[in-house]
Amino acid sequence: MQEFELIANGGLLDAPLQQHLGGWGAGIDASTIYETLMLLKHIGSGNLAVGRIYEGHVNALQLVQSFGTKEQIEELAKENIKVEPPKMAIAAASNSYTYADDDEFDSPPY
């Protein structure tokens, strides 16, 4: 599905990783709760099924980072991390999420 490619290309698969693992702590770092909720809301407003699947991804990474062994967490980070930085720019002040290299996502895709 195109939506999953956009999520992957936007660096959002890495977002739930803790910062020292290459993410921005979505769903794991208390300082990112608002941004995480707005991200989930935005994805879900475009496609609820995709939003729920992405929410499951965030939850799964949260559980492994909270209860996994050091080796499991390192393997998880290695599988999820990308070489290039995330392409998503968060505009929390305006409650909108846009992709820095793709202007078509200034508003939900519906």
User: pLDDT tens, 28-56?
Assistant: 889 999 999 999 999 999 999 999 999 99
Q: Which residue has the higher pLDDT, 93 or 100?
A: 100
In a domain, 110, yes or no: no
Average pLDDT, integer, range 78-101: 45
Give pTM, 2 decimals.
0.70
Among residues 64, 53, 83, 69, which one has the least CA distance to residue 18? 64
In a domain, 25, yes or no: yes
In a domain, 100, yes or no: yes
In a domain, 50, yes or no: yes
User: Domain count of the chain?
Assistant: 1
CA trace torsion 100, 102, 105, 109 (10° rounding): -150
In a domain, 82, yes or no: yes
**What is the rounded distance in angstroms from the CA atom of residue 24 to the CA atom of residue 17?**
6
Amino acid 79: pLDDT: 82
**73: containing domain:** 2-105
Provide the CATH number for the domain around residue 24.
1.10.540
Amino acid 85: pLDDT: 38
CB 14 within 8 A of CB 81: yes
Name the phi and psi angles at 88, rounded to 5.
-90, 135
Average pLDDT, the chain: 78
